[in-house]
Copies of this chain bind each other. A is one copy, B any other.
């Protein structure tokens, strides 16, 4: 069906840009299409998502070429572009996968190879599913039992601060819940259009969701010279500038930071909450890395906990949505797309609208809900799977801590690269010096994209340019995960070092 001519249709575009758009695969002009770059949703064209952008497509192409026997200056592509734990060799938690297998094929409940606690959990989850099957739809907000378990987890985590299962919404990964919450918030046109404050550097889900919604992105800059900390003065500057052209209504914070790896102090969180209260901003706390804290002296404080410890003046006023996921921490189960959000002080009428909105997609994936239930309700000390579970959990987190330390240490030894400690999360976001000649050579391209593309082509190393996350003008960075196995990470960092020296010499 690729043969024949497409010219029989009289209505043709044939000039300029449109001729490209309307070319068929065999090079003929295509009859007028309904959906073209010119006629599609203009917001979508503005969406960018660097973590899976051109650099990753190039990496996949290189991998294909290597497989086909094409000679390269490297024998494998090491991808550190995305926090994809299992893809980098991290092993699943045995207990979680046992329960998921039992839920998938309940026949196995008769198999004595499975520990009793795994069977108990599976029975408990299945009983909470329609018809006793994870193949049934759940309630749109998520299985009630799982929401109750999430609430209990939050209460334990936050030292007794109460949590209400009615305020828990299970989601398809954290991204889904974040995009949904942003969607609820967006209204107005022109100078009353909703503005949302996001950190720079940011995780590009935020900029992508805001572009999609046609909302106004308000950048506040993290202080690189101070371990990527967040200063209220900078929040205020950004807010005041934004008020001239939009209606700022929400403030997003990522803690521990992505891509920047900082862990916020309790004081900083208090300051942010006070600021949100004073300025009437809806707070969104992305806390998906809450178990990923490595640096000594650092500790994870949830926004919810700090909010309630600040007393009713804040805890009864500030609207907060906080997000968690099954994709990160020690389990790294990205493929299951599990997650939840907790909403605090949300207007009950808006909550009803939120519940209605999520019902349109029927429900989050039930296997992901089951997995989330295990994450928030893991084996207890008196249960048979406890010691294996704890060993596995501890091993993953200890290895990440070691890799965080190693990454910082090795990168900081490279002249022209400077990075902050990876206090938490799974990423380093080093600043790189790019010589003027290289910036010229990059031409239209962002200089750090040029740098990263060259790094990929010459060394088989895949990292994401800082421009995909945002950075202060004139500074350049890349984001790399610390996920490769220790041996591979060492090779990786040695290659980065070698490349940076070579690149700097070449363009000096």
Q: Which residues of A contact B (CB under 8 A)?
A: 1, 3-4, 6, 8-9, 11, 20-25, 30-37, 39-42, 44-45, 47-49, 51-53, 82, 84-90, 92, 97-98, 100-102, 104-105, 107-108, 111, 113, 129-131, 133-138, 140, 162, 172-173, 175-176, 179, 183-187, 204-205, 208-209, 212, 249-250, 280-282, 308, 312-313, 315-317, 319, 331-337, 345-350, 353, 356-357, 359-368
Contacts and interface: CB of A to CB of B under 8 A. Distances in A.
Contacts of A105: 97-98, 100-101
Nearest to A60: B139
7 contacts: A11-B280, A25-B348, A34-B280, A40-B353, A86-B135, A134-B336, A336-B367
Q: Is the interface of A mostly helix, strand, loop or mixed?
A: loop
A230 to B, nearest CB: 20
A176, A208, A361, most chain B CB atoms within 10 A: A361
Contacts of A11: 280
Contacts of A82: 137
A48 B134 CA distance: 26
B1 A360 contact: no
Contacts of A47: 356-357, 360
A125 B94 CA distance: 19
Contacts of A3: 312
A22 B179 CA distance: 25
Nearest to A106: B97
A6 B368 CA distance: 38
A370 B104 CA distance: 12
Given A34-B282, A35-B350, A41-B185, 12 more contacts: A3-B312, A25-B348, A35-B184, A44-B183, A49-B360, A86-B133, A87-B130, A101-B101, A101-B102, A208-B360, A212-B360, A337-B364
B363 A335 contact: yes
Given A34-B282, A86-B131, A365 B335 contact: yes
Contact of A84 (B42, B90, B137): B137
A55 to B, nearest CB: 12
A232 B396 CA distance: 62
Contact of A104 (B48, B100, B130): B100
